[in-house]
Structure 1
Amino acid sequence: MPGVMAPRRLRRQVVARFLVRFQACFQVRFVALPLVLFLAWLLVQPGLAQAAPAADGIVLQDMLGQPVELAGPVQRAVTLPMPAGSLFLSLAGDPARLAGMHPDAHGFMRQGLQARIFPAGSRIRADVTRSGFVPNVETLLQIQPDLVWQWGHMGDDLIAPLRNAGLPVAALLYGDEARTREWIRLMGQALGEEDRAAAQLAWRTEVEGRIRAVTAGLAPAQRPRVMLLSRHAPQYAVAGGSGNFQFDVELAGGSNVAAGVGNANIVNVEQILAWNPEVILLNNFESGLTPATIYGDPMLADLDAVKQRRVYKIPAAGYRWDPPSQESPLYWQWLSLILQPAHFDWPLREEIATQLQRLYGYAATQDDIDEVLHWQANAGAQGYERFAR
């Protein structure tokens, strides 16, 4: 069974707890020793030992419905999904509890603001995959984590090597806000940090509710046409209607021009011109991609978004805001200010500072907040002056 504690270790823990409690309760003396030894022998028999649960154990059900049994709160984890590393750290309270993470996420963590938020990030191992999300089982066996988090929607080929090596694994599924909330709940449970997880979930609910109270009543004509360029080069790709962006843009008061296509689909310039988005959002995965890149692209010069200077690089703090993360409520606030500036007046700079302290214990400076907001790259965009310090 994935994640089950090794039977020998479980038997030793059961026996140790039994002996300590027996002696404490009954003040065992020499004459009682044979009885103690006999009862201990019974406990280490395979059938009995495997039926006895660990007193401090945690049993969770991952997002594929598989049970995962842990000896106790996770102290050494590895996160293979890219958004999972910083999410785990926001719940763990101690960076030493993350032993390994996806190399792309690790590289992002080791630059700029993220390196200041996570100063201990350099000691986290990044050699935990071979390519993409294929696990490096040899490295993971060296690390001996209490739990490995892995994507569950990409096929069993990504999970089977972990299971076959005897590594405890829990699967996560990608796709929408409900699943993101389940990431938070499951990680909080595995860490024994249910209160931290509950606080994050309550924050998401509160921000979503405040935004939806305004945007739910908007007529279609009041919602600007929005396109997220999930890739600019070598080919244009857009976020379609089957991913988390659909939730984000509808919540914030916009309309996704690519709602009728799948997620991260390659499209030609003729299709983009036909959609004619009024707002273009840029991903955080392409190094060097800024609004200036789009303004300088002659193929896109006739778009309303370009002519009206409504091209924006999505912010990033402890992690990128374009995929779902523990910072999504900040993204929703930012996006609602971009799409519906007449309806929202969040004090976003203050919110960013508050949440970076709450999530990571990091005291953000005004320069840090400028970096989160990509102030230099976005400064010339319509309405971005409202984010000035």
Structure 2
Amino acid sequence: MKKSRLTLLATTALIAALTAGCGSNDATNNATDSKDKATTQEEKVVQDQLGRDVKIPTKVDRIVTGGILPFYSTWYVATDSTKEIVGMHPNSYSAAKNSILAKISPDVLKADTSFVKNGEVNVEELMKIDPQIYFEGTADEKTIKKVETTGIPVMGIKAIDAVKNTEPMGTFNSWLKVISDITGTTERTDRFLDEGKQVQNELNEKLSKVKESEKPRAMVLFNHSKDSIVVAGNNFFGNQWLNATGAKDVAQKDIVGTKEVNMEQIYKWNPDVIYITDFTATQPEDLLKNKIAGQDWSQVKAVQEGKVYKTPVGIYRWFPPNGDAPLMLKWMAQKNYPDLFTYDMKTEIKNYYKDFYSYDVSDDEAEKILHPSSDSALQ
């Protein structure tokens, strides 16, 4: 179990490191500029985020998403549908099963996961699913090449938009544009982009009055167990969210991507606030009640003051790129500055889901979004 978890973490860190130096802005612009390059009535060419021209069917109704775990939810946000998702990575399926998306668009649970065996793509099983497009993270060159040998069109998708590393929605926005290129639809994409800009501007206006010395010092606990403490740092999603919501990332100068650290390092940072991601089963009470054997969290300021929070899970996990990003901005801003941002997050969730997803969220569902169970982190 520990070995597989560490492998996942190493892969995640590698993705962050690899994309840090890549020209993601060029890839995003190319994807936008390549809209609807017609080849025949049945096919067209779009550019992926590796800058490659990929020939795909004009009408796409069967897709598979691989190791780029949040991408299935991006498809839903862009298209208002999950029936086209005929296959997804088992880790994505676990997130979908434990998210509200399973209620909003239950077709998502019909996706096949059998094409991933022991963390590797089995091309024979993948071909049985018969996808028209396979989506994979650009860092996983091995899988991209393997799938391409089958003749299935592969779209490379970047995990981190390095050029916009202070903009937490930059990556997700670029994904939406890729899907718009594929489907030819932009209405929902445009609405999401407008909402995200509006919320960020709202935060910026209030945060502009906050002195640098008054900003909370925050830490993102990316993955955690009694055997391992992995913290997220610079050029990763946690750093983006913290910057956007007016907090200082204590790990920004010491960590690029994610890194395993010890308690001595935590004591040295001594953060005011700790955010626990939805990629780990650890809950705030595990730290607040000092339940982890061999780790004394009681000495950390955030724990002493009760400022330890679990990132929510809605359409997808809120820590990486996701369709609830405007809500994530409000939620984290309020945790950082409870007196400055007085959102009623249950109401915010209900209004957003009604407006954007045409779904009426119950009080119980809103509570589960804001306080997800550890099951949502299962890999």
Tell me the TM-score normalised to structure 1 length.
0.78
The match for 1:211 is 203
Corresponding residue for residue 116 of structure 1:
103
Query: In the alignment, what sits opposite 2:152?
Result: 167
* Equivalent of residue 272 in structure 2, options 256, 278, 283: 278
* SS, match of residue 302 in structure 2: helix
Structure 2 distance, partners of 1:251, 1:273, is 25
Name the structure 2 match of 1:267.
Answer: 261
Partner amino acid, structure 2, of 1:348? M
Unaligned runs of 5+ in 2: 1-36, 162-167, 375-379
How far apart are 1:248 and its partner, in Å?
Answer: 0.8
Q: How much has 1:364 moved relative to structure 2?
A: 0.9
1:301 to 298, 301, 307: 298
Match for 1:164: what amino acid? T
Task: Name the structure 1 match of 2:351.
Answer: 354
Report 1:1-389 matches (<5 A).
53-55=39-41, 57-80=43-66, 81-111=68-98, 113-132=100-119, 134-154=120-140, 156-176=141-161, 177=168, 178-233=170-225, 234-260=227-253, 261-287=255-281, 289-297=282-290, 299-374=296-371
Tell me, yes or no, if the aligned pair for 2:99 and 2:315 is still in contact at 8 Å. Answer: no
Contact 1:89 1:360 in 2 (8 A): no
SS in structure 2 at match of 1:159: helix
| 1:222-272, Cα deviation, whole Å (9 max, x unpaired) | 110101111121211111112121111011010110101122210110010
**CA distance, structure 2, for counterparts of residue 100 and residue 323 of structure 1:** 20
Deviation track 1:18-69 (CA, whole Å, cap 9, x = no partner) reads xxxxxxxxxxxxxxxxxxxxxxxxxxxxxxxxx9822364432111000122
Distance 2:154 2:208 in 1: 39
Whichever residue aligns with residue 157 of structure 1, its letter is K
Amino acid of the structure 2 residue aligned with 1:102? H
On the 8 A contact 1:117/1:362 being kept in 2, the answer is yes
- Give distance in 1, aligned partners of 2:88 and 2:108: 10
* Cα distance in structure 1, aligned partners of 2:356 and 2:184: 16
Kept after mapping to 1: 8 A contact 2:327/2:348:
yes
Shift of 1:291: 1.1
Q: Which residue number corresponds to residue 21 of structure 2? A: none
Return the index of the structure with the highest Cα Rg: 1
Cα distance change of structure 1 residues 148 and 216 upon mapping to structure 2, 3 Å threshold: farther
Deviation, structure 1 residue 334: 0.1
In 2, distance between residues paired with 1:290 and 1:68? 42
Q: 2 CA distance for matches of 1:131 and 1:145? A: 21
C-alpha change, 1:58 and 1:353, in structure 2 (3 Å) is farther
Shift of 1:174: 1.2
Alpha-carbon distance in 2 for matches of 1:181, 1:188:
11
Contact 1:211-1:252 at 8 Å conserved across structures = yes
CA-CA distance at 1:203 after TM superposition: 1.5
Q: Is the contact made by 1:174 and 1:180 (CA closer than 8 Å) also made in structure 2? A: no
Q: CA deviation at 1:215?
A: 2.1
Query: Runs of 4+ in structure 1 displaced over 6 angstroms?
Result: none
SS where residue 199 of structure 2 aligns?
Answer: helix
**Secondary structure of residue in 1 paired with 2:83:** helix
Q: Which consecutive unaligned segments of at least 5 residues does structure 1 have?
A: 1-50, 378-389
RMSD: 2.1
Kindly indicate whether the alpha-carbon contact (under 8 Å) linking 2:137 and 2:158 is maintained by their aligned counterparts in 1. Answer: yes
SS at match of 1:228: strand
- Counterpart residue identity of residue 223, structure 1: K
Percent of aligned positions that are identical: 26
> Counterpart of 1:277 in structure 2: which amino acid?
P
Question: For structure 1, which segment, 264-273 or 185-194, has the greater mean C-alpha deviation from structure 2 after superposition?
Answer: 185-194
Give the direction of change, closer, same or farther, for the CA distance of 1:263–1:112 in structure 2 (3 Å limit).
Answer: closer
DSSP 3-state at the match of 2:326: helix
Given that residues 280 and 305 in structure 1 are in contact (C-alpha distance below 8 angstroms), is that contact kept between their aligned partners in structure 2? yes
What secondary structure does 2:73 align onto?
helix
SS of equivalent residue, structure 2 residue 112: coil
CA separation of 1:368 and 1:59: change in aligned 2, threshold 3 A? same
Q: Which has the higher contact order (CA 8 A, sep 6+)?
A: 2
Would you say how many aligned residue pairs link Structure 1 and Structure 2? 324
1:196 is displaced (CA, Å) by 1.5
Check 1:57–1:305 CA distance in 2 against 1; reply closer, same or farther (3 A cut).
same
